[in-house]
Amino acid sequence: MSHAAIAAAPVDSDLPGPYPVGSYAARLKQELQKFARVQLVGEVWGLRSSRARVYFELRDTRGALPCSMWLSDFEKLGLALTDGIKVVVGGGCDYYPGSASASPSFSFAVSELRVAGEGDLLLELERLRRRLHADGLFEPQKRLARPPLPRTIGVVTGERGKARDDVLAGLHRRGWAGRLVWAFAPVQDRLAAPLIATALRDLAAIPEVDVVIVARGGGSLADLFAFCDESLCRTVALLRVPVISSVGHHTDRTLIDDVAAVSCSTPTHAAEAAVPIDCRAARAHLSQGAHRLHAHSRRAVTERARTLERLAAAPGHHVARERRRLHQLVRELRASARRGVATGRERAATHVSALTRATDRARTSDHVARARDLERLALALAAHDPDRTLARGYALVEDTRGDPLTSAAGARAAHDVRLRFHDDAVDAEVR
């Protein structure tokens, strides 16, 4: 500071000064004017005009700045600004240092002003998206378990919008007919975001609510900007119930789509995502499963009973088969035996016959031989028969004991002899 100190009184402070405030204010004005001139985007609030200037506040969720613009410049634009309109302003910091009779004021001196276009909104959206993502707010909803068959579904939507009918159509298509809690809220104007956030919090506070749908039909990005509200998105990200968003058409992507558990292109699809299971198909599938279980149950018993029956009958069949086999063997043995006996008999008969024949043959030849021998012997015997000799005139001399006497000396010695002729014997005496 170039100003000399005007107070000589000793002070305890280590800070420089004190300096005249006007000098400081003038220096502050110089310093602020050194700030780079920039463009800012925000919502216009509290527009008012004086004779020479218009004043308004430029706000967003994170802060605000007082703005001023020459009235003549503003009027050249021909804009009718109302509270909440998003604008882009160009300018730089300005400070009116005031005076002994006038209050100082700070403002952003606006030299350019235009209503924010889609490009401006998208840029702002991107910045906010990056911030939410960096804070990890895209993940919590996606980690929540979504029940396949929610019993109570909450829906945040406009009371008279087409989205309401689309949600009902989607639920009907799923065959779902549970409890539906409608939380109607404005879904377009710039006040919508806090009301939507309140509706979501209220729905999440009902323990029975399993899932919440936030639905809105298509519109311009500016119309859908309520669903890009940072505060709303932070609320959604931290809700205990999964939120399924369907805001705008599939080409639009609002920030609530990023933080929600699921984002869908239409309210109908959001309803279908809320009830992932087609209830009619599921019932048919379940019925089929029940029938198959029943069939298995019945088959398990009946088929096994048949098997058991078959197994139980098997020994009987086996015995019967063995018995038949044995009977067959017995029959074959008997037949074989009969055939064997007959053969033996025949063979024996043959043998007997042969023997008989042999015997006969033997007997005949022996007999003849023997007969011949006998005849020969008979003839021989007959030739030696003394009777035959006696018959021819010879006589046999015997002693009295009947012993033959073959010499004269013996006859003399015997004295009494017996003379045997062929017809009789006579006693004689030797002299």
Q: Give min distance, CB of 261 to another protein, in A.
A: 16
Establish if 206 lies at the interface with another protein (CB under 8 A): yes
Establish if 115 lies at the interface with another protein (CB under 8 A): no
Number of residues that bind another protein (CB under 8 A): 36
Amino acid at 209: V
Q: Give min distance, CB of 240 to another protein, in A.
A: 16
* Residue 154 vs 248, nearer CB to another protein: 154
Binding mask 268-287 for another protein (x = CB under 8 A): -------x-x-x--xx-xx-
From residue 8, give the alpha-carbon distance in Å to each of 4, 17, 18, 279: 11, 11, 10, 90
* Residue 148 vs 315, nearer CB to another protein: 148
What are 100's two structure tokens?
């002994």
Residue 419 CB contacts under 8 Å (≥ 6 apart), including other chains? 395, 396, 397, 425, 426, 427, 428
* Residue 301 vs 349, nearer CB to another protein: 301
Q: Give min distance, CB of 260 to another protein, in A.
A: 19
Pairing of strands 38-49, 53-60: antiparallel
What are 163's two structure tokens?
């989205």
* Residue 275 vs 414, nearer CB to another protein: 275
Amino acid at 408: A
Q: What's the residue count for the chain?
A: 431
* Residue 19 vs 182, nearer CB to another protein: 182
Applying the rule CB under 8 A, the residues between 143 and 202 that interact with another protein are 147-151, 154, 171, 175-184, 199, 202
Phi, psi (degrees; rounded to nearest 5) at 214: -110, 115
Establish if 240 lies at the interface with another protein (CB under 8 A): no
Q: Give min distance, CB of 207 to another protein, in A.
A: 10
* Residue 296 vs 345, nearer CB to another protein: 296
Q: Give min distance, CB of 263 to another protein, in A.
A: 22
The DSSP 8-state label assigned to residue 404 in this structure reads: B
- DSSP 3-state of 2: coil
Q: How far apart are CA 58 and CA 86, in angstroms?
A: 9
Applying the rule CB under 8 A, the residues between 294 and 313 that interact with another protein are 296-297, 300, 304
Binding mask 66-105 for another protein (x = CB under 8 A): ----------------------------------------
Find the DSSP H helices in 385-425.
386-391, 408-414
How many angstroms separate the most distant Cα atoms in the chain? 243
Q: Give min distance, CB of 274 to another protein, in A.
A: 11
The Cβ of residue 397 has, within 10 Å, a number of other Cβ atoms equal to 19
Q: Which of 85, 110, 203, 241 binds another protein (CB under 8 A)?
A: 203
Q: Give min distance, CB of 235 to another protein, in A.
A: 16
* Residue 240 vs 363, nearer CB to another protein: 240
Q: How far apart are CA 344 and CA 342, in angstroms?
A: 5
- DSSP 3-state of 247: strand
Q: Give min distance, CB of 258 to another protein, in A.
A: 25
* Residue 304 vs 345, nearer CB to another protein: 304
Q: How far apart are CA 42 and CA 128, in angstroms?
A: 13
* Residue 58 vs 167, nearer CB to another protein: 167
Exposed e or buried b per residue across 96-130, where buried means at least 16 C-beta atoms within 10 angstroms of its C-beta? ebeeeeeeeeebbbbeebeebeeebbeebbeebbe
* Residue 43 vs 210, nearer CB to another protein: 210
Phi, psi (degrees; rounded to nearest 5) at 382: -60, -35
Binding mask 18-57 for another protein (x = CB under 8 A): ----------------------------------------
Q: Give min distance, CB of 326 to another protein, in A.
A: 37
Q: Give min distance, CB of 245 to another protein, in A.
A: 18
Q: Give min distance, CB of 145 to another protein, in A.
A: 8
Find where tokens 């009116």 sit. Answer: 96
The Cβ of residue 208 has, within 10 Å, a number of other Cβ atoms equal to 10
Query: Is the CB of residue 1 less than 8 Å from the CB of residue 19?
Result: yes
Q: How far apart are CA 155 and CA 140, in angstroms?
A: 20
* Residue 286 vs 419, nearer CB to another protein: 286
Residues lying near another protein in the complex (CB under 8 A) are found at 147-151, 154, 171, 175-184, 199, 202-203, 206, 275, 277, 279, 282-283, 285-286, 289-290, 292-293, 296-297, 300, 304
